[in-house]
Amino acid sequence: MNVLPRARRRTWVASGLTGVLTAGVVFALVVGPSVVIAAPARAADVASSAVTVTAKDQDPAGYQDAPFPDLAVTVSQTKNLRQQGVSVSWTGATGHASLPFTSSNGGRWFLQIFQCWGDDPTDPQRPDRTTCQYGGTAKYGATRDATRRYEYDAIPEKDKQYSVPRVSSFEGAYTSIPFVSRKGTVVSSITTAADGTKSRDLSVDVNNNTQFDANTTNEIRWAGSGADGTGSLSFEMQTTMQSPALGCGDPVTVDGSVEGASCWLVILPRPNADNGSSTINQSGLFWDSWKHALAVRIGFEPVGARCTVGAPERQLAGSEIAALAVQSWQPALCGRSGGAVYSHLTIAESDALTAASTTEDAPLALTSYPASDNATTLTYAPIALSGLAVTFAIDRNPDPFGTVPPEYAAAVNLPFTELKLTPRLLAKLLTNSYWGSLPPELDHSYLGPNSPENITKDKDFLAINAPEWAYQSLISPSLADTLMPQGRSDAARAVWSYIMADPDAAAFMAGAPDPYGMTVNPWYATDAAKNKSGSALELPRDDFPKADPAEVVPPQQSPINVVAWRPYVNDLDSAAYLTLRGDGQVLGPWDPTSAPAKYTKTGRSLPGFQRVLGISDAPASERYEVRVASLRNPAGEYVTPTSGALLAAASAMSPAAGVSGVAGLDLGSAAARASKDAYPLALPVYAAADPALLSAPLRADYAAFIRYAAGAGQASGVALGQLPPGYASLPSSWVTAATAAADAIERGPAAPTAAPTPSDAAPASSAGAPRSASSAVAASASTTVQPATTPALGVPANALAGAVTPRDPETGAIAVAVPSSLVAGALGTGAVPLVSRLRRRVP
């Protein structure tokens, strides 16, 4: 018996929820027959939902006295929002240089950005400041309360209802803006007696409360501008799942249709000092500042189930790269007459394939590579084309002690927008080869004398990136490695394959120095003679090992090893999300007062001070609108995972040896070396199933999923049912192949046929040239299920077919299955049922 491997992350698209579902908790909006789900917005509507607001339009009476009278802010998307990043850019913040915050003030001439849920009762075209998620950082200039620098009579009239005349004989008036959640919970540090007397309630901290705090808030308390008054960042939009207090996206019924509750995005300009003070140390919610706020109403998709009660549940298992596409497709699939609910469990693709090839009625496997044992009867259907990505959030910090060109000095705290990586540089980030990735106070001399602290100090990096990088002083452990997902995955296999396909990177991994004398951390050497363990690190592999056993034991503290110092993240999505938040997962100081005593975690870094690299995928990086590195492809070009680059990679793909219907990018092939536009970490996603192991209802529903995914689901857009950003629409021949595979799955197992003779085989291509895409697909679509022959390399990826490969013997590894009762039972306890090998059934 085998046990179903525990998932790194459960993405339950059956409930339509976006984000991570914690074990034992299932949320669902039950849709009754009398409720109509709002139709998905058209792609054109969403694409046109960008909004620009100006100080002149929103503050006509006082904009000339605003910190930035010419301020104009553009929000890239204001409709159909989910938990995601949204680009916020601005112009007109001119006249004064932005200065960062210090230990005694909030900074000078900057913006604050945050989310609110309610309308101002006196002006429904403006947000209500008591409903804003603001103050969670509890820092100067970004709190909900403060002691005034002047007497009560000088407090603006609109603030007096939230003020206490005098707190004590040595403190002035006190103002505190309460927080009111959408659920009605009120957090206030001012109490009012029966006679109307107000007093401060010292037992309540309005900045650290049960509704939000420094760890959960998405507010940005400081965002600076460049010398030209422009700036941009990606803001984390939170739904009711991340912030129940805001309740954005809570299902509400409007005229019989379910919609998501709207919210507000607020952009608040701050000057060089608050009223009555010489610095910024008051709340931005106080009227003096609040009156200049710019606000944009933002619409959310309803959070919750969009499927009618009683629909059959069908399970998908495997590739995380397909997760966001499946989440988008789910409502359209289950909304069809007789449609099923598809839940997606992200686990190691190899485990999903094992289940699909050995277990009766197993989940439909989602994978980027075929099963390692080619002797199976799995039918493969291409359903998505995307790729992996290296995300980054790195803000400038010109060396304060060096001679820096004026144009570089003026860009302090602004983000770098371009970063180039080679396979060798990526190898360095994944192998603890920079000494900053190792625990502090460790003797890291075994790395060699030419190991830099982090990648920004590596001459190998500086040689290919913009000259400005050489003038920076950037120090952080999160620049010495990259956030990497735990567990086994096709993503890890693809990254290591990319590295090992490059001669320079492969030589570096074997222990050869780079041109500047840097060598790989010897614990990761692929040459056993140079590996400190005495055994070679085997590559490619399907995980990201932390092979260096280095450990330090500070006095009266717990040991720190490389995993504690630089922990794994849950998955690819988490890496992009943490990049958005500027959270490099940096270990904090030891807390002896905790029970038990433990190390703390350093919090997120604000825009202007971020230092994060991560291994993610293109859909997640698009979801959170984070920047991605340009990777060098085999043709020597630096490419990002745009739709065009993914399609170029698809055209250069070669069929997998011995497996019909599966292709991948062979980075050592002539086609890859000739494709200048191809993205080197492009990955297809296939749905795989063995028709002989599936009941007729499952075959029909799996086929319906494949047909939708490869058909209507390939229309790009952000509305539900569409193909989200980060994916490229499948080439037409892939769609043909997917349709043929869906038909084969629904039809069920074919009767055994005699192996074809050489004369029965498809004509060979002439002179080594690849067959045309149309002829290859046509041949595969019209061919009955037969044992596959090994296709010649060089046949283009659009020659994908839906045929199956020979069956494996009845003996073999016991498979895994995902039980239908997983939501009801297994989540609550984390238990995983044991599943015995079931008898083959052919209905």
Give the containing element (helix H, strand E) for 421.
Answer: strand 420-421
Structure confidence at residue 152 as a pLDDT band (50, 70, 90): confident
| Rounded Cα distance, 554 and 442, in Å | 11
Q: Quick one: pLDDT at residue 46?
A: 53
Which of the 8 DSSP states describes residue 781? H
- Using a 10 angstrom Cβ sphere, with 0-12 exposed, 13-18 middle and 19 or more buried, the burial of residue 348 is buried
Asked whether the predicted pLDDT for residue 644 surpasses 80, the reply is: yes
Asked whether the predicted pLDDT for residue 527 surpasses 80, the reply is: yes
| Rounded Cα distance, 804 and 787, in Å | 7
**Nearest alpha-carbon partner for 267 in 239, 235, 238, 245:** 235
Asked whether the predicted pLDDT for residue 610 surpasses 90, the reply is: yes
Averaged over 445-458, what is the pLDDT? 97
Averaged over 367-383, what is the pLDDT? 88
pTM of the predicted model as reported, rounded to 2 decimal places: 0.84
- Dihedral pair phi/psi, residue 444, rounded to 5°: -105, 25
Give 567-576 pLDDT, tens digit per residue. 999 999 999 9
Q: What percent of the chain has pLDDT over 70?
A: 82
Q: Quick one: pLDDT at residue 374?
A: 62
Give 743-802 pLDDT, tens digit per residue. 999 999 865 554 443 333 333 333 333 333 333 333 333 333 333 332 332 333 333 433
Averaged over 526-555, what is the pLDDT? 96
| Rounded Cα distance, 356 and 370, in Å | 12
Q: Considering only 45-54, 477-486, 542-551, 622-631, which range has the smallest mean pLDDT?
A: 45-54
Give 37-96 pLDDT, tens digit per residue. 344 444 455 557 999 999 999 987 777 889 999 999 999 999 999 999 999 999 999 988
Are 50 and 75 in contact by the 8 Å Cβ rule? The answer is yes
Are 416 and 395 in contact by the 8 Å Cβ rule? The answer is yes
Averaged over 25-31, what is the pLDDT? 32
Asked whether the predicted pLDDT for residue 185 surpasses 50, the reply is: yes
Averaged over 146-170, what is the pLDDT? 84
Averaged over 737-745, what is the pLDDT? 97
Per-domain residue ranges for the chain? 36-298, 396-568
Give 281-333 pLDDT, tens digit per residue. 999 999 999 999 999 999 999 998 677 777 889 999 999 999 999 999 998 99
More confident residue, 432 or 169: 432
Q: Quick one: pLDDT at residue 697?
A: 95
The strand ranges marked E within 761-807 are none
Are 728 and 650 in contact by the 8 Å Cβ rule? The answer is yes
Which of the 8 DSSP states describes residue 13? G
Averaged over 507-520, what is the pLDDT? 98
Asked whether the predicted pLDDT for residue 647 surpasses 90, the reply is: yes
Q: Considering only 156-165, 212-221, 744-753, which range has the smallest mean pLDDT?
A: 744-753
Residues 172-175: contacts with CB within 8 Å, 24+ apart? 172/147, 172/148, 173/147, 173/148, 174/145, 174/146, 174/147, 174/148, 174/200, 175/145, 175/146, 175/148, 175/283, 175/286
Give the containing element (helix H, strand E) for 627.
Answer: strand 627-628
Asked whether the predicted pLDDT for residue 20 surpasses 70, the reply is: no
Instruction: Give me the amino acid identity at 774.
Output: S
Structure confidence at residue 6 as a pLDDT band (50, 70, 90): very low
